[in-house]
A and B are shown apart, each in its own frame.
Chain A
Amino acid sequence: MSGDIFFAIFGGLAALTSLLVVLQRNPTHSALFLVMSFLNVACIYVLLGAEFVAVTQIIVYTGAVLVLFLFAIMLVRMEDLPEMYGGHPVQRFVGPILGLALFLEILAVILSTVPLGAAGPFTPENITALGGNTQALGRSLYGDFLVPFEISSLVLLVGAIGAIVLARPDYTASRDREIGSLFTISLGHPQESTIATPSVYTVRRDEQLILHAEEETETAGEAIKR
């Protein structure tokens, strides 16, 4: 009985906060509602008897991934997009219709038949005898799934290296842009260069020369942004 009540509370809150993630206009609010959604899903994991996964979810998702999201929101210049209030009307109508169709299909499958495999060894009595959910999970993780576990560590390593490589300042783009500062010492910063020599722009960027030939006092970075 109490399980039903807790499932209703946490499941309803998870669905509500997930809906608010989609509906909020401000991405920062979306991220904060996503924290709420993840916490409620962690409570659902606890109801399912998966305490270790619940704690992992709280540490990894709400601790690490969401902080990463907030950092990205901070680093990226946010623009006020016309999300639900204009813009792409086709997307706005087709998206919910497709989602509803998929939901009805999944619901039909769930209600008609749920095929289950052979029963495993971890009944609640066995889990209690082993000492808890974490011990049972450890038996399975370091027994049958040892090789995938090691491969997942490799995935994390490659992901970290790839993130560093991708988020580095873009040297080729900055070199391409700062063609006017060929004779200065460039430290590779992609910021604007203060040396605007219009004669150099004549060589490389014809259309900007036409636009900005008379404004010689402007810095090169501003001229490029036009």
Chain B
Amino acid sequence: MHPGLEWYLSLSAVLFVIGLIGVLTRRNVLVIFMCVEMMLNAVNISFIAFGRAISSATGQVFALFVITVAAAEAAVGLAIVIALARRQDTVDVGRIDTLRE
């Protein structure tokens, strides 16, 4: 038989937490972006698992919306990274501190 809902939610939690740790510890802004995408993926697993648990297609619809928004977010975010690298010549988030000075 299939594993229960708790297993899918636990896997989702594991992936989300790994992405969160990546966002908190890494310094390269591109890798931080990758970790954000990973967290969105983890949320998608939760959506679909819940949707299957109540035998509804709404979870899958929301997963599609999340994928759409993630694609737009990746496009805009990577454009920001390229503009930033062109201006500041760095991808280190610790060195992007123009507003502090």
Which residues of A come within 8 Å of B, CB atoms?
A: 1, 3-4, 7, 11, 14-15, 18-19, 21-22, 27, 30-31, 34, 37-38, 41, 44-45, 47-50, 52-53, 56-57, 60-61, 64-65, 68-69, 71-73, 75-79, 81-84, 87-88, 91-92, 94-96, 98-100, 102-103, 106-107, 110-111, 114, 116-124, 126, 133, 136-137, 139-141, 144-145, 148, 152, 155-156, 158-160, 162-167, 169-170, 173, 190, 225
Question: Contact partner of A50 among B15, B24, B60, B74, CB < 8 A?
Answer: B60
The 8 A CB mask of B66-84 against A (1 = contact, 0 = none) is 0111111111101111110
**Given A37-B41, A79-B90, A49-B26 contact (CB < 8 Å):** no
Query: Are A102's CB and B17's CB within 8 A?
Result: yes
Using Cβ atoms and an 8 Å threshold, which residues of chain A touch B16?
A: 106
Question: Contact partner of B48 among A48, A73, A106, A166, CB < 8 A?
Answer: A48
CA of A56 to CA of B54, assembled, Å: 22
Taking the closest CB of chain A, its distance from the CB of B7, in whole angstroms, is 6
Query: Are A99's CB and B71's CB within 8 A?
Result: no
Query: Are B33's CB and A122's CB within 8 A?
Result: no
Taking the closest CB of chain B, its distance from the CB of A145, in whole angstroms, is 5
Using Cβ atoms and an 8 Å threshold, which residues of chain A touch B31?
A: 21-22, 27, 30
Q: Using a CB-CB cutoff of 8 Å, which residues 56-72 of chain B contact chain A?
A: 56-61, 63-65, 67-72
Query: Are A83's CB and B30's CB within 8 A?
Result: no
Query: Are A156's CB and B82's CB within 8 A?
Result: no
Using Cβ atoms and an 8 Å threshold, which residues of chain B touch A190?
A: 86
Q: Using a CB-CB cutoff of 8 Å, which residues 23-70 of chain B contact chain A?
A: 24-28, 30-31, 33-35, 37-38, 41, 44-45, 48-61, 63-65, 67-70
Query: Are A49's CB and B28's CB within 8 A?
Result: no
Query: Are A81's CB and B27's CB within 8 A?
Result: yes
**Given A3-B2, A78-B91, A122-B55, A44-B82 contact (CB < 8 Å):** no
Query: Are A76's CB and B30's CB within 8 A?
Result: yes
- The chain A residue sitting closest to B27, CB to CB, is A81
Q: What would 9 A/B residue contacts be, using CB atoms closer than 8 Å?
A: A30-B31, A60-B70, A69-B30, A91-B25, A110-B13, A119-B54, A120-B56, A140-B60, A159-B73
